[in-house]
Amino acid sequence: MDIRAQISMVFHLDKCIGCHTCSIACKNIWTDRKGAEYMWWNNVETKPGTGYPHRWEDQEDYQGGWILNGGEIELKGTGKKRLLKNIFHNSTLPVLDDYYEPWTYTYSDLFDSPQGDDQPVARPYSMVTGEYMDVKAGPNWDDDLGGSELYAKNDVNYDALTSAEREDLHHLQKMVMMYLPRICNHCQNPACLASCPSGAIYKRGEDGVVLINQEKCRAWRMCVTGCPYKKTYYNWQSGKSEKCVLCYPRLEAGEAPACMHSCVGRIRYIGVLLYDKDKIEGIIHQDEKQLIQAQKEAIVDPFDPEVIKAAQDCGVSTHMIESAQKSPVYKWVKEWNLALPLHAEYRTVPMLFYVPPLLPVMGNISHNLYDNNGDQFFTSIDDCRLPIKYLASLFSCGDESLVRDVLKKLMAVRVHRREVTTGDISRSQADDALSQAGITAEEAEAIYKLSSLCTFDQRFVIPASHREEAIEMTKMVLEHKGEVGFGFKEDPERI
């Protein structure tokens, strides 16, 4: 066993209200710079929809991630074999128009215009070229737009649905949408890292955060193609690639990443998972159907004395182990089996997990009358407005049973709480729902608490990173005092 610690995340999609506060918090801290205007390390997309960049899930086009080729794992569009072909011109690189051209407005015209017959207006202009432009696309142009011909219809996950099912999602009264907030998954088998010819990208041993060394990046731009989630971005001004850093300076100071800290829906959880590094090789070679199961098996029980012993032998700090024991992520992912990775079929072993949304049908319009679905208060999950097939395409490599198991549990928790609070459901009905979902009333209660009543400290369990000890190795602590900070030692100028 080679036990390592990984800071991992869970996003509870039932709670996301699509407010984009997370994106703005991130933008303000990290990407409000020249060359990075178009970047949204954190973005929230509306699904069904095409996402950002446009149709990023279409790997036939973007060629990201890993594939199994005759039992061997290889990078789909990058890697050693394809370097010479790709390096002078990378045919699968998403370009500015695949994201959107960032713009702002001539606000000063509102104040400085000479007096005239018309109201002055602020005109949009490009933040790249400075020229006036007609704004035609943005990072969340289809915000809240279920059923759209242009966006929802072009959702890559529609491939999993029959045409009748697709049509269904575009009927006026059946339209549906959900939010999908996305950041870098800080994967255990990162394809961006493996694609980087310069070796500028690395995974931190202590906590698994994936970072790009700006000093070593040479703009070969293979990571942008390599990452199937399109979460590495090329800065056109500095000539360097950038990505979500999981706010590591904040993490090291014991604070939650800005997107998580600011999340209005409180959908985000962060905590440590201990995993067995030796098993990663096995996971990525698994058949698609077994991928998620294998990934979960590699995550080990932080209470198991054998694991604790092994972790200590592998140099995982005591703080790390303690914090793995308190980790909310462990509960969601392992204990309750409620959280699933996004598009595990890309084989990067992503460490951001999602609790899929329930979207129950509470009522239907029939004969122009609103009908509250008969006697059962909570409808059967197969009547979910968003087809299970669709969710399975996102979260379980197409395996509907995995999603159904999760939804059953989520539903059972609701039934159970309904019985407890209003009592208009009988206890036997509630117990029935619980046993069908395979959880006990205590578990349901715990899930309910961590979903709805969770405090700040329950959502964010961040281990001490002991940078002070790391500094001691290289310099006198007192000398270092007052020097701490991050950023460039030199101006990040182009030549």
Residues β-bridged to residue 179: 46
Nearest to residue 43, comparing CAs of 6, 77, 16? Answer: 16
Q: For strands 232-235 and 240-243, give the pairing.
A: antiparallel
| Interface pick for ligand SF4 out of 44, 187, 272, 462 (rule CB under 6 A) | 44
CA–CA separation, 85 and 100 (whole Å): 27
**456 is a contact residue toward ligand HEM (CB under 6 A):** no
- Residue 268: which of 282, 258, 254, 281 has the closest Cα? 258
The dihedral built from the CA positions of residue 462, 203, 262 and 16, taken in this order, carries a sign that is: negative
For residue 356, state whether it binds ligand SF4 (rule: CB under 6 A). Answer: no
Does residue 224 belong to the site contacting ligand SF4 (CB under 6 A)? no
Q: Which is nearer to ligand HEM, 97 or 313 (CB)?
A: 97
44 binds, among another protein, ligand SF4, ligand HEM, none (CB under 5 to 8 A by kind): ligand SF4
The single residue among 181, 226, 357, 463 that binds ligand SF4, judged by CB under 6 A, is 181
Whether residue 53 has a cis bond before it, omega within 30° of 0: yes
Burial grade of 27 (CB within 10 A; 0-12, 13-18, 19 or more): buried
Nearer Cβ to ligand SF4, position 23 or 323?
23
Of 87, 253, 264, 470, the residue at the interface with ligand HEM (CB under 6 A) is 87
267 binds, among another protein, ligand HEM, ligand SF4, none (CB under 5 to 8 A by kind): ligand SF4
Instruction: Between 251 and 339, name the residue whose CB sits nearer to another protein.
Output: 251
Assess 17 for contact with ligand SF4 (CB under 6 A): yes
Rounded Cα distance between 157 and 177, Å, is: 13
Question: Rule CB under 8 A: is residue 125 a binding residue for another protein?
Answer: no
Minimum Å gap between C-beta 474 and ligand SF4 is: 38
CA distance linking residue 488 with residue 269, whole number of Å? 30
Q: Tell me which residue of 243, 205, 245 sits closest to 221, measured CA to CA.
A: 243
For residue 48, say if its preceding peptide bond is cis, omega within 30 degrees of 0.
yes
What mask, x for binding another protein by CB under 8 A, covers residues 476 to 495?
------------x-x-xxxx
Whichever of 220 and 229 has its CB closer to ligand HEM, that residue is: 220
CA 440, CA 409: separation in Å to the nearest integer?
10
Q: Is residue 52 within 8 Å of residue 217, measured between CB atoms? A: no
Residue type, 252: E
Q: Which residue is nearest to ligand HEM (CB)?
A: 87
Bridge-based pairing state of the strands 369-371 and 364-366: antiparallel
Q: Which of 367, 335, 327, 403 is nearest to 160 (CA)?
A: 403
Nearer CB in complex with another protein: 237/337? 237
Considering only residues 290-349, where is the footprint of ligand SF4 by CB under 6 A? none
What's the one-letter identity of residue 270? I
Contacts 24+ apart (CB under 8 A), 111-115: none
Reported as type and span, the H/E element at residue 84 is helix 83-86
Q: How far is the CB of 423 from ligand SF4 (least distance, A)?
A: 31
3 vs 13, beta carbon nearer ligand SF4: 13
Interstrand relation of 352-355 and 210-212 (parallel, antiparallel or unpaired)? unpaired
Binder of residue 265, out of ligand SF4, another protein, ligand HEM, none (CB less than 5 to 8 A by kind): ligand SF4
Point out which span in 260-268, 301-309, 334-342, 455-463 binds ligand SF4 (CB under 6 A).
Answer: 260-268
Residue 224: name the closest of 251, 202, 196, 248 by CA.
196
Contact between 88 and ligand HEM per CB under 6 A? yes
91-99, 137-145, 358-366, 393-401 -> range binding another protein (CB under 8 A): 91-99
* List of residues contacting another protein (CB under 8 A): 2, 75, 79-80, 83, 87-91, 93, 95-96, 128-131, 189-190, 193-194, 197-199, 201-206, 214-221, 234, 236-237, 239-240, 314-317, 466-467, 469-470, 473, 488, 490, 492-495
Q: Which residues bind ligand SF4 (CB under 6 A)?
A: 16-22, 44, 179, 181, 263-265, 267
Q: Which chain residues interact with ligand HEM by CB under 6 A?
A: 87-88, 220
